[in-house]
Structure 1
Amino acid sequence: MNKPIGIYDSGTGGLTVAKAIAEMLPNESFIYFGDTAHLPYGDKSKESIQLYSKRISDFLIGKGCKALVIACNTASAHAYATLTERHPEIPIINVVDPTVEYCVKDKSYKKIGIIATKGTVTSRIYPRKIKKVNPEIQVFQNATPLLAPMIEEGFFNNRISQTVINSYLSAKNFKEIDALILACTHYPLIKKEVERYFKDNVAVIDSASVVATVTKNVLIKNNLLSSSQIPSRQFFVSDYTKAFEKTAKLFFGEKITLKEDRIWD
């Protein structure tokens, strides 16, 4: 089916997921929406995130999207159930469930650490879902509120970012973990720095490639794969700035053209 996939996030972070989907499914078109008017989602209330997600999903489905990817951990935690009820007509993929499934499948992970926004940590969605599958796994999570804004501003792979990352990762409850989940779609851009801190002794898991694989499987299962040889890639934001377009290029890996659509007006 040659209709686009809808992908949304509060800002540029979800572009790591969009990039992974584009690489895994090169024939697929997609429409990306970054809710820059409300970023970051990590410190917003559950009710606000549900409201934003409803409006964005209506916008994307109104543009003919055949599936929806919630490319934000906080929105996945707070709005996934709401959106599946609101839009039963299309498959909806969140970033939490595929990541949890990937982690619990590896029997060597006995102690799992999680870094995420305050919203994701407060929801306790990762510990609940991991423990539901395997109660024996120990889960330790810490909120890392400086990371997403830092990455949005282009601060990664430098001394400033490494110092901030090291400070967060030196928390006592992260001693002797087997794996660390980067539970924010901004964080794949600092994966190398996180691995550097742990000296490659801890498995560092980001959701982008995992979610891309699940998206492919969902499209196959629902007979929704595209046969188009010339995919269309559209990028929308709720509040346009030049700086955002520059940062978006860093996330997606190539120049993209952003269109502003003030869906809140």
Structure 2
Amino acid sequence: MSDPRPIGVFDSGVGGITVLRAIHDLLPGEDLIYLGDTARLPYGTKSAETVVRYATQAANALIARDIKLLVIACNTASAVGTPVLAEKFAPVPVIGVVEPGAEAAIAASSGRHIAVIATEGTVRGGAYPRAIQARAPDAAVVQTPATVFVALAEEGWTDTAPTREAARAYLAPLFAGTNHPDTLVLGCTHFPVLADAIRAELPDGVTLVDSATTTAQAVARVLGDQAAPEGRDGTVRFLATDGPERFARVGQIFFGQPINEGEIEIIDL
């Protein structure tokens, strides 16, 4: 039976809006609430204990709005916080971005040779290799930080000469030679908006795994018959902890449509 309550999505900033957009595209009838903890970003430079505390506070704010499902649209928070939040907020389902991305990478990789690009914090934490090898112990996983991609995405330089040059610099060492990975995971929620530029620099036959899309698919599976009925137009609400002007300006790059600054609710966690 359909559950009319909204889905809650949170991230440290605006990058997780790619996940929100993927959910909205796949499940257009769902009401969505997105929270960007813009006052305290980035999470990737913080300790695991601090990230779990911040993630718990963000989740509390969404749970208070009577959500039916919680999505952690932040790789850092997903890596360290998913089990904690799942236990704390049960029976509300909690979905992070790492696990669906890892599962999709394994399904896509015929040779069990997988590359991951992410932020420095996500690479340093090793969340994707752990998640992939927990499911496929024989998988070979290589990864590299692609930090410049975050700034390029937030500037809206989605497929420009500098973006192609950065993609070439990051990807060439990973895909040199004939025995290169057959699958590339975009392990940062900023990166899907750069997919065209990234794909253009990959060798033929390499599969690109977008963790935003795979997370949306996981949401649909978990909801099952609780999903909104077909033909309904869902709503999207935005919450932030600081900077509504920048949130609206940069967020629309990831959302693919304008975000009204005046409709962003500023909250204190």
TM over 0.5: yes
Cα distance in structure 2, aligned partners of 1:43 and 1:153: 21
Q: Please tell me whether residue 197 in structure 1 is matched to residue 201 in structure 2.
A: yes
- Give 1:64's aligned residue: 66
- Give 2:250's aligned residue: 247
- Give 1:88's aligned residue: 90
Check conservation: 1:140, 1:174, Cα contact below 8 A.
Answer: no
Q: Aligned to 1:119, what secondary structure does the other structure show?
A: helix
Q: Aligned to 1:38, what secondary structure does the other structure show?
A: coil
- Give 1:134's aligned residue: 136
Which of 202, 207, 212 lines up with 2:211 in the alignment? 207
Q: Please tell me whether residue 166 in structure 1 is matched to residue 168 in structure 2.
A: yes
Residues 186-244 of structure 1: per-residue CA shift (max 9 Å, x gap)? 10011111111114432111111111111011011xx5322482422101111124233
Residue correspondences, number: 262
Residues 16-52 of structure 1: per-residue CA shift (max 9 Å, x gap)? 1111111111110010011111222222221221111
Cα distance in structure 1, aligned partners of 2:216 and 2:133: 24
**1:170: how far off?**
2.2
Amino acid at match of 1:231: G
Which of 232, 237, 242 lines up with 2:235 in the alignment? 232
Any unmatched runs of 5+ in structure 1? none
Q: Aligned to 1:211, what secondary structure does the other structure show?
A: helix
Amino acid at match of 2:162: I
**1:164: how far off?**
1.9
Residues 122-165 of structure 1: per-residue CA shift (max 9 Å, x gap)? 22121112112222211001122222233123232112222222
Which 4+ runs in 1 deviate beyond 4 A?
Answer: 172-175
Counterpart mapping for 1:6-25 below 5 A:
6-25=8-27
Root-mean-square deviation (Å): 1.8
- Give 1:262's aligned residue: 267
Cα distance in structure 2, aligned partners of 1:230 and 1:138: 43
Any unmatched runs of 5+ in structure 2? none
Q: What is the TM-score when the length of structure 2 is the normalising length?
A: 0.91
- Give 1:113's aligned residue: 115
Change beyond 3 A, Cα 1:172–1:18 = closer
Q: What is the TM-score when the length of structure 1 is the normalising length?
A: 0.92
Check conservation: 1:30, 1:234, Cα contact below 8 A.
Answer: yes
Could you tell me the percent identity over the aligned residues?
35
Change beyond 3 A, Cα 1:174–1:99 = farther
Residues 82-119 of structure 1: per-residue CA shift (max 9 Å, x gap)? 11121112001111111111122235132111011122
Check conservation: 1:74, 1:117, Cα contact below 8 A.
Answer: no
Cα distance in structure 2, aligned partners of 1:53 and 1:209: 22
